Amino acid sequence: MQTVDSSELAILRALVEGTVQTTGEDFLRSLVRSLCTTIGVANGFIAEFTSDKTRIRSLAFWEHGQFIDNQEWELAGTPCVDVLAGKLCHYPSDLAKIFPKEEGIESYLGVPLQDADGQILGHLAIFDERAMPEEPRLLYTFKIFAARAAAELNRIRVEELRQQSEQRYKDLFDEAPIAYVHEDTDTRFQAANQAAMRILGITPEQVPGLIGSSFVPDTPEAQQRLQLALKSIEDGTNNDGVVLELRRRDNDQPIWIQWWSKLDPSRQYMRTMFIDITERVLMKREQARLQAQNLYLQEEIKSTHNFDDIIGRSPALQSLLNQVQRVAQTDASVLIQGESGTGKELIARAIHAASPRKNRPLIKVNCAALPSSLIESELFGHEKGAFTGAINKRIGRFELAEGGTLFLDEVGEIPLDVQVKLLRVIQEREFERVGGQVPIKMDVRVITATNRDLLTEVAEKNFREDLFYRLNVFPLTTPPLRERLEDIPLLVNFLIAKFAPKIGKKITGVSAQSMQRLQNYRWPGNIRELENIIERAVILTDTPILDIGPEQLPAAADAGVKNTAGGDTSLDSIAKEHILSVLEQTRWVIEGPNGAAQRLNLKPSTLRYRMQKLGIAKTNR
């Protein structure tokens, strides 16, 4: 058995004891010191080559019992140049004679430090002012230290490359324009880059342990999307990106992201990335709102309004228009009251046209024409699946009127439960779609109209008092036609000019007797009734002078005259007489082209409702 020399053991012990508890630069310094002490030389260093291989810099430099600052020098003219060639270089004596730059140095021993692939990383060298005889023990000891130095230098290089790679990855991760998150399968965050924190409204301190799914709002649609997204990760089908709705942590504002996530091979963690598509989603919503608004306006264009303008110069009308001009410049809520057919919608349009909102839409809702179960959805819209039959999301009239004016006609027909929500919208300036939980801010002026006595409705608990005062900021009353008798000739001529060309007749005027007859009539149906009578007379006439006989006026004309002489002139009484008159003319036929509803310009359901309210039944006459 071969025995180990005690001097070899001493060398190994010196090497181990000097370096066992150190790494990196401390290891290299300890190794150089131990080498010089063990061999008994004055100087030594470990050095690495620069990238161009023409210069060398020390990593640890021991000189006469102490470390000196690291240095860098040219290889040319030094014994180190031979080491670069990859061979051990030993000059036992007379070094300065061979290399004049090394004045005062007598001996030198250097060996290259190579990695596993044979690439030269640097070299280990010792030198002294005394001779350094060539002996096996010296070379053996030196090679032991050189091998250990090469291993550590290689480790340092690998560690530097690893750190550089990690830093590059960290820089890419942190500074990437796309949001990246590392999270476990319970969506608990491990790390998040700057883009992710910016989108989610969080700080670096909040990241560790944050639950990603907590950003998803607690709404049926949002939660359903989240579950489908998580399942797509398990199935490995999350390829196209899932659109998720989130809430920012700092201000709770809604955001939308397109989200991709993939399990790592251990299936313990997920690598997630997402992009902010909030602007795209809001743009699509705005596009949908504008399309719905455009569709609504096209329907409005198709429908015919009573007149293209407000016709008349009576004191009652001029007083009303003066008030319209004053209130139009404000955003005050306006409540227009008056009998049916007096032009409440025209007044609403006039207010909007004279207001700063004139370039934005005027959206109309006829509350009496909608079933009570659909009024809320019509006003505020609904989310998909909010109720049976809600197969798509619907944009409500408040959203369509954004920046403009919403006209609620027949506001007295709104059910009490919807009145509560309407009051909140007017007070808070925000609303939620039916089935939705996200408040939508709105900038809409509200104008309402009714032919009911809302104060009576309030007293009878059919209309909320607080809502009435919110709507009645600036009340207007449209005068009935019987208070605008001087406007009848203007209206008649306007209507003849409107209907005659459409029917293909040339009418130059109205007989004086007919005009007198029209001005004597009390007009319970107001301008709408006048419009129907003139259109019918134009159809029937065969002469250029329009003649309207007594038979062409409803039988209620006389009743109207009697009422002015001291009978019951209440709105309900006049309306009841007029409806009864039309019902008798149509022989109590309500629906159809010749029915009473058509003549009264009402829906059959609305006419039946009013008949029931006024106590009109066929046995009455």
Distance CA 295, CA 469 (A): 33
Cα 50 to Cα 70, 84, 105, 115, 147, distances in angstroms = 14, 11, 24, 16, 21
Q: What six digits make up the tokens of 37?
A: 């002490």
Say what the pLDDT of residue 21 is.
Answer: 55
Say what the pLDDT of residue 502 is.
Answer: 87
Q: Is the dihedral of CA 178, 181, 187, 189 positive or negative?
A: negative
HSE-CB of 461 using CA atoms within 13 angstroms: 0
Largest CA distance in the chain: 149
DSSP annotation string for 171-200: HHHHH-SSEEEEEETT-BEEEE-HHHHHHH
Distance CA 430, CA 380 (A): 10
Q: Nearest to residue 390, comparing CAs of 403, 376, 406?
A: 376
Helices 526-540 and 488-503 cross at an angle (nearest 10°) of 40
Distance CA 20, CA 621 (A): 119
Strands 66-67 and 55-63, how do they pair? antiparallel
Q: With H, G, I as helix, E, B as strand and everything else as coil, classify residue 227.
A: helix
Distance CA 574, CA 585 (A): 17
225 class by beta-carbon count within 10 Å (0-12 exposed, 13-18 middle, 19+ buried): middle
Contact 208, 181 (CB under 8 A): no
C-alpha angle 164-167-169 in degrees, rounded to nearest 5? 110
Distance CA 398, CA 421 (A): 12
Q: Nearest to residue 375, comparing CAs of 343, 420, 310?
A: 420
Cβ atoms within 10 Å of 416's Cβ, excluding its own: 12
Question: What is the SS3 string spanning 573-616?
Answer: HHHHHHHHHHHHHCCCCCCCCCCHHHHCCCCHHHHHHHHHHHCC
Residues 6+ away with beta carbon under 8 Å from 343: 306, 307, 310, 478, 526, 527
Q: With H, G, I as helix, E, B as strand and everything else as coil, classify residue 518.
A: helix
423 class by beta-carbon count within 10 Å (0-12 exposed, 13-18 middle, 19+ buried): middle
Contact 487, 529 (CB under 8 A): no
Length of the chain: 621
Distance CA 498, CA 346 (A): 17
Question: What is the SS3 string spanning 67-95?
Answer: ECCCCEEECCCCCHHHHHCCCCEEECCCH
Q: Distance of alpha carbon 563 from its chain centroid, rounded?
A: 60
pLDDT along the chain (621 residues), means of 10: 50 57 77 85 89 84 92 86 80 90 90 81 89 79 78 79 68 69 85 86 88 86 83 72 86 87 79 86 77 62 48 87 92 92 90 90 87 81 69 78 91 89 89 79 92 87 92 92 88 89 87 87 88 90 87 59 44 79 80 79 80 75 44
The letter for the amino acid at 122 is G
Distance CA 468, CA 450 (A): 12
Residues 6+ away with beta carbon under 8 Å from 520: 557, 561
Q: What six digits make up the tokens of 422?
A: 């309407």
Distance CA 199, CA 249 (A): 10
Distance CA 391, CA 508 (A): 55
Distance CA 144, CA 15 (A): 9
Residues 6+ away with beta carbon under 8 Å from 88: 109, 110, 111, 112, 139
Q: What six digits make up the tokens of 250?
A: 């700092």
Question: In which order are the strands placed within the sheet that holds 362-366?
Answer: 362-366, 405-409, 445-450, 334-337, 474-477
Distance CA 600, CA 528 (A): 8
Q: Nearest to residue 83, comparing CAs of 53, 105, 63?
A: 53
Cβ atoms within 10 Å of 596's Cβ, excluding its own: 24
Cα 196 to Cα 175, 182, 203, 419, 566, distances in angstroms = 10, 11, 10, 43, 79
Contact 219, 436 (CB under 8 A): yes
Q: Nearest to residue 120, comparing CAs of 90, 175, 91, 81?
A: 81
Q: Nearest to residue 451, comparing CAs of 421, 482, 409?
A: 409
Contact 431, 440 (CB under 8 A): yes
Q: What six digits make up the tokens of 176?
A: 């990437």
Distance CA 409, CA 303 (A): 16
Say what the pLDDT of residue 136 is.
Answer: 72
Q: Distance of alpha carbon 219 from its chain centroid, rounded?
A: 16
Distance CA 80, CA 53 (A): 11
First to last CA, the chain: 139
Say what the pLDDT of residue 238 is.
Answer: 63
479 class by beta-carbon count within 10 Å (0-12 exposed, 13-18 middle, 19+ buried): buried
